Amino acid sequence: MEEIKDTFLHPVVPLDFQNNYRVGAYLQRYLDGFREKKILGAKCSQCGRVVVPPRKYCGACNLVMEEFVELPQEGTLENFTVGHVTLEKGQLNRADAPYVIGMVRLEGASNSLLAKLDVAPADVKTGMKVKAVWKDQVEGEYTDLDCFQPA
Amino acid sequence: MDRKVAIAGFRMAAAPDLETTRERLVFELSKGLLDDLGIDRDAVDNFVLCSNDFLDGRTISHVFLGPPAGGYMKDQTKVEMDGLNAFIYASMGIISGQYDVTMVLAMSLTGSQVSPYLYFDYSLDPTYDRQLKLLNELSAAALEARSYLAANGYPEELLDAVAVQNLKNAAANPGQARRIEGVSREKVKGSPYYYEPLRELHCYPPTDGGCAMLLVSERKAEELTDKPVWLLGMGRSTDIYFIGDRDLSTSLSAAQAAQRAYAMAGIKDPAAELGFAEISSPFAHQEPLLAESMGLLEKGKAAAAYEAGDTAVDGGMPLNPSGGPLGGNPLCAAGLIRVAEAARQLRGEAGENQVKKADKALVHGQDGLCAQQSAVVILGT
């Protein structure tokens, strides 16, 4: 049979789904806290674990967590990676400059918060103390908590 | 198990770009397998397909893939997870006594996709991680890699050793998609960083591919194959979603899934009893991490094991003698291809990569960020 050259057809999608997600009561409290530059977590009344951002259920105890606690704005950098690429809509591109993403364990928290780190890639170290940096103008959005930097 | 399950045959395909349509790939895998076994689709009473609507670009993707697989007017279901879950699900139908012959077929064309990494973005929590835009498949893997290296005091060079071993095995396996001639540690180290400590050659290549496999009851196995590969045990486990809640230096899901599979297969000392393992490790650090978590390598001794060649094809515990996911990792098909590669070894058909002790093997599959979900099966001759 004669070789047939396939044509690539780009997707023609007549539907454009716009998904709206309600954040729910717990992330709403978290974002409301941002308006006052506060970081809130949820505490389990049974095991005492504090998770940030707050969520309704303690997975370990399978219980509703009813207590909100304010966490300090300082913590320890538990883990990090220096990014040399960006993934925008699933496409891999080289980053303009290396950047640092870290996992921060706030004092008193039982889990780690993923955050941008404002630190030179050469200076970043596991175990370093870091503190939260807020935007000047806070609006109750995730981006209010701009990044963490060395304390 | 009340009823035994055997692998009667399989067909695989993988390449950076298979230059085919989804339907043609599925037809050729399925029809090719039926031809290998000298049967037609009338002999198959159940079809389990494994694809993903996001990767396929159509909802309920098996609507289009069932017919070319030969599954029309048959019992047909779809698993939208890794192919090892489809394998387990298909096996359950035979163990239960409902079916005797089941075709499992998993595929995706991720290599020729314009945005191969978008799939994992859709797995992120839409109200949190997707909004923060920090977490993706690669950054999560990098955090896991550093956590694993740091917790065990391993040097970054362990990643190079794992990658070189896998890429060498892949180069000797004609079925693999990424086959690099003359791969060396220098070459791996010379590849650019994605997210530190992971470099390009520490990470899987987006791959087109698929795998069709025929699972049969004991009675049918006698009719269809001289070299049955038996399912001896299986287990699964799903960890919590949030990576900030997990200890990324180990894999609880793999440990639990493996323990369940070992219990079912009656395995007490996996490192001694198993001949080799095919592990779904799309990132270099995951092979030793998962192997340690599943008791195949001693905890904290992985770097020494790779240096000593214990994990090579001719070592005491060969890991991914096929070359593993670093040689090709078509999403959905990935875990089923690991099964097929293990079956090839157990049938003594692995050519240059044939391991010596090919009587019992472990196969691992995963879904989610940092192997949130693990599936493990034990196969034997």
Q: What is the 3-class SS of A8-46, one letter each residue? A: CCCCCCCCCCCCCCCCHHHHHHHHHHHCCCCEEEEECCC
Please tell me the distance in Å from A116's CA to the nearest CA on chain B.
8
Name residue B292's amino acid: E
Q: Give the pLDDT of residue B113.
A: 85
Write down the pLDDT at residue B66.
94
Region B274-278 average pLDDT: 98
pTM above 0.80, yes or no: yes
Query: A19: how many CB neighbours lie within 10 A of its CB?
Result: 5
CA angle A28/A30/A36 to nearest 5° reads: 110
Mean pLDDT taken over chain B? 96
Query: Would residue B60 be called left, alpha or beta, if left means φ above 0 and alpha means ψ between -120 and 50 degrees?
Result: left
How far is B257 from B36, CA to CA, in rounded Å? 33
- Provide the chain B residues 94-123 that lie in CB contact (below 8 A) with chain A: 114-119, 121
Inter-chain residue contact A114 with B131, CB threshold 8 Å: no
Q: Please enumerate in sequence order all residues whose Cβ is within 8 A of that of A32, keeping only pairs 6 or more positions apart, or say none.
A: A140
Give A90→chain B minimum CA distance, Å. 4
Q: State how far residue A143 is from chain B, nearest Cα, in angstroms.
A: 8
Is pLDDT at A10 greater than 80 in this prediction? no
pLDDT for residue B100 is more than 70: yes
Q: What is the pLDDT of residue B286?
A: 98
- Residue A1: predicted pLDDT: 60
ipTM of the complex: 0.94
For position A11, what pLDDT does the model report? 67
Judged against a pLDDT cut of 70, whether residue A13 lies above it is answered with: no
Question: Looking at the DSSP assignment, which residues form a beta bridge with residue B208?
Answer: B15, B109
B19 touches chain A (CB under 8 A): yes
B residues 141..160 contacting A (CB < 8 A): 142-143, 146-147, 150
pLDDT (tens digit per residue) in B106-154 = 999 999 888 889 888 889 999 999 999 999 999 999 999 999 999 999 9
List, for residues B201-210, the tens digit of each pLDDT value: 999 999 999 9
| β-bridge mates for residue B104, sequence order | B48, B213
Inter-residue contact A95 to A86 (CB < 8 Å): yes
Is the pLDDT at B1 greater than 70? The verdict is no
Question: Which residue of chain A has the CA closest to B127?
Answer: A23
Query: Strands B5-15, A67-71: parallel, antiparallel or unpaired by DSSP?
Result: unpaired
A23's torsion region: left (phi>0), alpha (psi -120 to 50) or beta? alpha
pLDDT score, position A83:
98
**Among B120, B374, B343, which residue's Cα sits nearest to residue B229?**
B343
- Which of B19, B131, B142 has the CB atom closest to A81's CB atom? B142
Q: Return the percentage of chain A with pLDDT > 90, whole number.
A: 83
What is the rounded CA–CA span in Å between residue A98 and residue B195?
A: 9
Who among A22, A81, A84 is closest to B143 (CB)? A81
**Mutation choice for A interface testing from B146, B253, B331 by most A CBs within 10 A:** B146
Distance between CA atoms of residues A92 and B110, nearest Å: 14
CB-nearest to A81 from B114, B129, B146 is: B146
Return the residue in A56, A114, A124, A147 with the most chain B beta carbons within 10 A, the one to mutate for interface testing. Answer: A114
pLDDT (0 to 100) of residue B296: 98
* Cα end-to-end span (Å), chain A: 70
CB pairs under 8 A between A and B: 97
- % of chain A with per-residue pLDDT over 70: 94
Residues of B in contact with A23 (CB under 8 A): 127
Q: Convert the pLDDT of each residue in A82-141 to its tens digit.
A: 999 999 888 899 999 999 999 999 999 999 999 999 999 999 999 999 999 999 999 999
Using one digit for the tens of pLDDT, what is the confidence trace for B55-86?
988 889 889 999 999 999 999 999 999 999 99
- Inform me whether the pLDDT recorded for B356 exceeds 90: yes
Q: How confident is the model at residue A16 (pLDDT cuts 50, 70, 90)?
A: confident
